[in-house]
């Protein structure tokens, strides 16, 4: 069975599974010649050129297993009969840890103190704090739950929002009523037609003065111009691991906007995610070869 994998590390972790013929395709080279014979594709984390064209040529394809939680690059183009699985769980630890670090960095003004350190200046002043605040998690899936576990101990109130309301979790429709009470709003929703531009001027206007928007979801969930308008006045602050556009071009006004901390989509790019990715791929391929049902099958928009 032919399989495309994103790295030699994946070849290695699959090496004891019988009957697999692995080709490394990391998205930076020309497509391997066996495109029409590939049964399983594990694409790389980076954006692959021409996903629709590539999928259209994969006539033997049965399974796409992403190494990302987000599947927006693949889901709209998956041919009928091909199963799409995401990497739910793999990036929980890295992303949740980033979100905690990012909210603390903004609230405790670490970026400003780093600037002052560079200039050798002792800029003593009081800062904000995470303790006693309300953290609104928008998109309470497995990363949201991991974030909540990590916030336990910081003496905060956590409010959960997800697409569908359930016990202890508010529905997205309740957001307008919940936003004004939140000190920190963490975005963890997938990129879908429903979430595109969800954080617009009206959403931001409902956030309280001094609140922090933390985006670990996708840049397109936030209307960049609307966010810029709010941070430029100093009313809101933000920590962004994802931006629209992405990568953020040199000279873009977000780079120099006050109170904005930007990291280059690195929340899940850690050795912890790498280890968990290998474990997931190994387990999924074992199931696929044994004809067992797979984990993380995408059945609707995500
Ligand atoms: C990373 O952004 C992911 O979707 O896992």
List, for residues 164-204, the tens digit of each pLDDT value.
999 999 999 999 999 999 999 999 999 999 999 999 999 99
What's the average model confidence in pLDDT over 145-157?
Answer: 98
What's the average model confidence in pLDDT over 218-232?
Answer: 98
**Which pTM does this prediction carry?**
0.95
Name the percent of the chain lying above pLDDT 90.
98
Q: Is the pLDDT of residue 302 over 80?
A: no
Beta-carbon contacts of residue 218 (< 8 Å; ≥ 6 apart): 70, 72, 190, 191, 195, 242, 244
What integer pLDDT is reported at residue 296 of this predicted model? 97
List, for residues 252-261, the tens digit of each pLDDT value.
999 999 999 9
- Locate tokens 């797979």: which residue? 294
List, for residues 104-150, the tens digit of each pLDDT value.
999 999 999 999 999 999 999 999 999 999 999 999 999 999 999 99
Ligand 1 contacts CB of residue 44 (under 6 A): no
Q: Is the pLDDT of residue 301 over 80?
A: no
How many angstroms separate the alpha carbon of residue 118 from the centre of ligand 1? Answer: 33
Structure tokens at 74: 């693949």
pLDDT band at 300 (very low <50, low <70, confident <90, very high): confident
Ligand 1 contacts CB of residue 268 (under 6 A): yes
Nearest CA to ligand 1 atom 1: 68
Q: Is the pLDDT of residue 239 over 70?
A: yes
Two domains, one topology: 2-90+270-290 and 92-262: yes
Closest ligand 1 atom to Cα of 273 = 5
CA dihedral 59, 65, 71, 76 (to 10 degrees): 20
- Partnered with residue 222 across adjacent β-strands are 199
Specify whether the CB–CB gap between 73 and 54 falls below 8 A: no
pLDDT band at 47 (very low <50, low <70, confident <90, very high): confident
Ligand 1 contacts CB of residue 140 (under 6 A): no
What's the average model confidence in pLDDT over 16-39?
Answer: 95
Q: Which CATH superfamily is domain 2-90+270-290 in?
A: NAD(P)-binding Rossmann-like Domain (3.40.50.720)
Name the percent of the chain lying above pLDDT 70.
99
Mean pLDDT score of the chain: 97
Specify whether the CB–CB gap between 198 and 189 falls below 8 A: yes
Q: In terms of DSSP bridges, do strands 134-138 and 83-85 run parallel, antiparallel, or are they unpaired?
A: unpaired
What integer pLDDT is reported at residue 246 of this predicted model? 96
Which positions are catalytic? 218, 246, 265
Domain boundaries, the chain: 2-90+270-290, 92-262
Q: Which fold has domain 92-262?
A: Rossmann fold (3.40.50)
């Amino acid at each position: 069975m032919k399989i495309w994998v994103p790295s030699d590390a994946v070849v290695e972790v699959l090496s004891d599974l019988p009957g697999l013929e692995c080709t490394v395709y990391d998205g930076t080279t020309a497509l391997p010649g066996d495109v029409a014979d590939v049964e399983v594709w594990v694409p790389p984390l980076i954006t692959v050129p021409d996903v629709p064209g590539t999928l259209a040529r994969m006539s033997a394809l049965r399974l796409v297993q992403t190494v990302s939680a987000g599947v927006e690059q693949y889901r709209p183009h998956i041919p009928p009969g091909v199963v799409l699985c995401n990497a739910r769980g793999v990036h929980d630890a890295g992303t949740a840890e980033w979100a905690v670090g990012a909210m603390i960095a903004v609230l405790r003004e670490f970026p400003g103190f780093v600037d002052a350190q560079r200039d050798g200046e002792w800029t003593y002043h009081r800062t904000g704090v995470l303790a006693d605040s309300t953290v609104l998690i928008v998109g309470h899936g497995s990363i949201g739950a991991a974030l909540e576990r990590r916030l336990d101990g910081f003496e905060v109130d956590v409010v959960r929002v997800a697409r569908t309301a359930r016990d202890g979790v508010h529905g997205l429709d309740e957001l307008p009523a919940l936003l004004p009470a939140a000190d920190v709003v963490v975005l963890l929703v997938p990129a879908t037609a429903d979430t595109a531009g969800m954080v617009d001027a009206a959403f931001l206007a409902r956030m309280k003065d001094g609140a922090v928007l933390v985006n670990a979801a996708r840049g397109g969930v936030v209307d960049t111009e609307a966010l810029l308008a709010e941070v430029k006045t100093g009313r809101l602050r933000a920590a962004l691991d994802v931006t629209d556009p992405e990568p953020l071009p040199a000279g873009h006004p977000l780079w120099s906007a006050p109170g904005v901390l930007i990291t280059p989509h690195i929340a899940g790019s850690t050795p912890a995610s790498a280890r968990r990715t290998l474990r997931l791929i190994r387990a999924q391929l074992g199931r696929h070869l044994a004809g067992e049902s797979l984990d993380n099958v995408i059945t609707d928009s995500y």
